């Protein structure tokens, strides 16, 4: 057992793997949007640009993700929030137009995966938060 690693390091490794999976899904979505854009010339290409930008943002944040980098965590939070917002909009439109919910795979990749990333990233940040000396001093005085 490697004692030089902190508990947050393992959580961040799991977050990196989940972000890699999500980045791969976004790259596949970008390729799919590109082919649909070519097949139907009326498309304006915004879905290609948005999913491509999300893929790049997720993969860059994944590469730079550490417990001490606030900027990379913010990028992950923003992209995951946008993913959840688009799922909510897509679900509302699907239910309103065809009275059906999105398929289970879409719910897993666009709802469960971002929630897992949120939860694990918050746990990793909490695990690396320094303990204040006031709390330690108070515990020693009362003991």
Sign of the alpha-carbon dihedral angle for 77, 121, 65, 49? negative
Name the average pLDDT for the chain: 81
pLDDT digits (tens, 9 = 90+) for 92-133: 988 999 988 888 888 888 899 999 998 988 888 887 766 555
Q: What is the pTM of this model?
A: 0.75
CB 74 within 8 A of CB 50: no
What share of the chain has pLDDT > 70, as a percent?
A: 83
Q: Where are the domains of the chain?
A: 7-129
More confident residue, 102 or 44: 102
pLDDT digits (tens, 9 = 90+) for 51-71: 888 888 888 888 888 767 788
């Amino acid at each position: 057992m490697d004692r030089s690693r902190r508990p947050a390091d393992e959580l961040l490794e799991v977050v990196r793997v989940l972000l890699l999976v999500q980045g791969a899904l976004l790259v596949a979505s970008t390729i799919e949007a590109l082919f649909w854009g070519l097949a139907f010339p009326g498309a304006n290409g915004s879905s290609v640009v948005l999913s491509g930008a999300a893929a790049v943002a997720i993969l860059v944040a994944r590469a730079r993700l550490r417990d001490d980098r606030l900027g990379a965590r913010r990028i992950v939070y923003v992209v995951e929030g946008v993913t959840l917002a688009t799922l909510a909009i897509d679900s509302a439109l699907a239910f309103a137009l065809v009275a059906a919910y999105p398929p289970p795979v879409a719910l897993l990749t666009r709802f469960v995966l971002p929630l897992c990333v949120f939860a694990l990233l918050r746990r990793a940040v909490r695990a690396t938060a320094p303990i204040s000396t006031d709390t330690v001093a108070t515990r020693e005085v009362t003991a």
